[in-house]
A and B are shown apart, each in its own frame.
Chain A
Amino acid sequence: MLEVDQIGFRYGSKPVLRGVSATFEPGATVLLGRNGAGKTTLIRILAGAAAPSGGQVRLNGSAQGSHSRATRAVLRRIGWLPQTFGFPPRMATAEFVAYAAWLKEVPGRQLTRQVADALATTGLSDQARNPLQTLSGGQLRRAGLAAALVAEPEVLVLDEPTAGLDPEQRDAFHGLVRRIRSERVVVIATHLLEDVEALADRVVVIDRGSVQWTGTIDDLAGLSQQQGLSALREGFQIILDRTVS
């Protein structure tokens, strides 16, 4: 179980997150919010790529600190797919995934197997030797997911995982995430209701740097009289309207 407790974050004097608290349990939790709501910042803090100005992240009771041994032990158990990511030049797909495994301290004797498993899970085994810059947008997202999965993390955090993908690639990616979400805590930041409908077990609505609402996808739909995607859209809007008032 991943917990965030009173997380705060500032860019200079501008507060981005204000006392965010939430609990993420096994299954997929979607962080839903408009652009600029603070989702990516929270995801980066969960992944260890940014340090909060206040509060704490705990994984099964172990807290992240700053550059400490304990923090690194927690980070070893978290996989992260950033919204966009770069890579060392001319690197092949398998090499990139192996590098990600090395960064997460996967033991050398297990590295080959885990890289092969991650590539197989994401359907990239046939692209293993191809340089990353030759991959399509969808393949590149899957390569990023393979890198996030390679250390077999207990927690997977995905930031706008379907942004920039065409509908077919998006469906394929949804299928992939559905397969892996049952085994671990998956936190997905998105502003796309299609992602919520396809992936979410639970929804956390964030706006203006604060958690505004938490519940299941059925709870969110239940806020509206509509059906399907329209119900989610209206439910989301109702929450945002409450925030304003």
Chain B
Amino acid sequence: MIVSRRLAAGRIALFLGVAGITIIQGIASVASKSQRWSGHWANSSVVIGWAGVWGACIAAGATALILAAPRSRGYDDLLRASSRSQARIHLAGLVTVAAGSLAGYTVVTGYVAAATATSATHGGLDIIELLPTAASVPLAVGIGALFGRLAPPRIAPVAAAVAPYLIYMAVVYAEAYSGQIAYMDLLWTDQVDRTYLRLPAELLVSRAVLWMMLGVALLGLSLHASRLAYASAVVASLSAAVALLSVGTRIEVPAAYAAACSGEQPRVCVDRAHDHILPEYQREIVTSVQPVQGLELSTMVVVMDEHLAAPGADLPGSGPDARRVIVPIVKRNTSPAHEIDSATLTANVGFALFLAPCMARPTAADDVGLTTAAALYHWWLTSHGLPTDGTNFPGEPSLDSILIENEEAARTAGSFVRLVEEERQEWFSESTESVLTCTAVPAR
């Protein structure tokens, strides 16, 4: 029953506000880490939970705001003298916040699903992975209700908004300090990468029930529904016990390691977990090796990690004797990433072709092969317009520092740059084997 148009308008504004802020922060949270989930359904199902870290803060703050309003506006006595239960009085406001929060997560889920569906090759959204995020809604509303009813009205919204994050951080620190127990598995969201692993369903379900029931218990406590509060607390503690039995459990996904290879030259292979970026990986590799046309690449297979580079790894269409060159897929701080950063990949191709072979054998500072490799990598980076200060990917050596310390390498790099295109191709065609074994001598 609508008794006041202004109250109804306020609730609509509240719904839109909670949903809108949840959507904005949620999409910003997941988009800023798109390299960890894009095109991969299992990870996509998990990242929606990342929106729940701040999303819970928003819902808790909004709940506290509406529940503290009667005290801050001075009509709380009016509500206390009501013949309706406190739960019934506040139900519409609580449902509005919960609905706004859920609507926000639904839109974030839609965004993630749409972004993933365009490139994913297998799988689908995992509903069980979404349960803990949904459970964070009653938790946040419960926290907000508690603060809204008990904390001083002016600080209640802020204190409630901070509380879920404090719970989150407390669990993160508990895990960091315990060093053994994966307490973060208990949270409504986690940072476990699902590329090669998954969490047991009973853990996901039990932690969802834990937070949902804890939220209901807090709501019951706040709204004088003590029987509901006690019953929910009992269910929450049972769920915590079930969840604790399986924290730290990881289930490997063997199929994720299987190789998926392109049929074109140079041959490239990724694992099945990353097969959604195989065409782009192939394309980027082909584009980046254009300047080394003289280099004979037909006997080479470019793979994304050491697992596929291992002699025993089965690469469809390639013999066991094919030379395997590792070009990792790195984006931001994620490796292997589910998105390709073109510049980083190009730098990695150069590193894999020229410097990585030197890492496979012992070298001295005055090693001619190493000097040539450093010069070639320097040329590679400058010809692709990439920085030479070691900032292309984590672990990259600084060519600037190497060339300052190694005058021979600097001279070699300079002379290589001065070669005309045909001379460079000729040198590469003559030096393929020595380049790929770190034994090349400088071009003169």
Contact = CB atoms under 8 A, between A and B. Distances in A.
Chains A and B are bound partners? yes
A202 B5 CA distance: 42
Interface stretch (A89-97, A177-185, A191-199, A225-233): A89-97
A9 to B, nearest CB: 15
A44 interface: yes
Contacts of B77: 44, 47, 49, 80, 82, 85
A85 B78 contact: yes
Contact of B6 (A78, A95, A147): A95
B1 A102 contact: yes
A95 B5 contact: yes
> Which of B6, B75, B78 has the most chain A CB atoms closer than 10 A to its own CB?
B78
A67 B222 CA distance: 13
B127 interface: no
Contacts of B6: 88, 90-92, 95
Interface string A53-97: 000000000000001000011011010101011111111100110
A73 B74 contact: no
Contact of B3 (A47, A48, A87, A101): A101
Interface in A76-135: 76, 78, 80, 82, 84-92, 95-96, 98-105, 108, 111
Contact of B7 (A76, A86, A95): A95
B81 A72 contact: no
Interface string B1-22: 1011111001000000000000
A104 B78 contact: no
Contacts of B3: 95, 98-99, 101-102, 111
A88 B84 contact: no
> Which of A78, A96, A101 has the most chain B CB atoms closer than 10 A to its own CB?
A96
Main SS class of interface, B: helix
Nearest to A108: B1
Contacts of B70: 86
B7 A47 contact: no
B31 to A, nearest CB: 36
B382 interface: no
Given A49-B77, A82-B77, A85-B78, A105 B5 contact: no
Contacts of A111: 1, 3
B78 A100 contact: yes
Nearest to A72: B83
Interface residues of B, number: 24
Contacts of A49: 77, 80-81
Contacts of A89: 73
Contacts of B74: 84-87
B69 interface: yes
Given A82-B77, A89-B73, A104 B82 contact: yes
A59 B400 CA distance: 91
B224 interface: yes
Interface in B72-103: 73-75, 77-86, 89
B79 to A, nearest CB: 7
Nearest to A96: B4
Contacts of B73: 86-89
Nearest to B223: A67
B82 A88 contact: no
A232 B212 CA distance: 62
Interface string A144-165: 0001000000000000000000
Contacts of A87: 73-75
B1 A47 contact: no
Nearest to A83: B77
B24 to A, nearest CB: 26
Contacts of A48: 80-81
Contacts of B78: 82, 85, 100, 103, 147
Contacts of B89: 103
Nearest to B72: A86
Nearest to A48: B81
Contacts of B82: 75, 103-104
A84 B79 CA distance: 14
Contacts of B83: 72-73, 75-76, 103-105
B178 to A, nearest CB: 41
A89 B86 CA distance: 20
Contacts of A47: 77, 81
A95 B75 CA distance: 14
Contacts of A78: 81
> Which of A75, A80, A82, A86 has the most chain B CB atoms closer than 10 A to its own CB?
A86
Nearest to A104: B83
A40 B8 CA distance: 33
A85 B1 CA distance: 24
A147 B78 CA distance: 10
B4 A103 contact: no
A191 to B, nearest CB: 20
Interface of B: 1, 3-7, 10, 69-70, 73-75, 77-86, 89, 224
20 contacts: A44-B77, A49-B77, A72-B84, A76-B83, A80-B77, A80-B81, A82-B78, A88-B6, A88-B7, A88-B75, A90-B6, A91-B6, A91-B7, A100-B78, A102-B84, A103-B79, A103-B81, A104-B82, A111-B1, A111-B3
Given A95-B5, A147-B78, 20 more contacts: A47-B77, A47-B81, A67-B224, A72-B83, A72-B84, A73-B83, A85-B77, A86-B70, A88-B4, A88-B75, A96-B4, A99-B4, A99-B7, A101-B3, A102-B1, A102-B3, A103-B81, A103-B84, A105-B83, A111-B1
Q: Which 9 A-B pairs have the closest CB atoms?
A: A86-B74, A76-B83, A103-B82, A95-B4, A98-B3, A75-B83, A86-B73, A86-B75, A72-B83
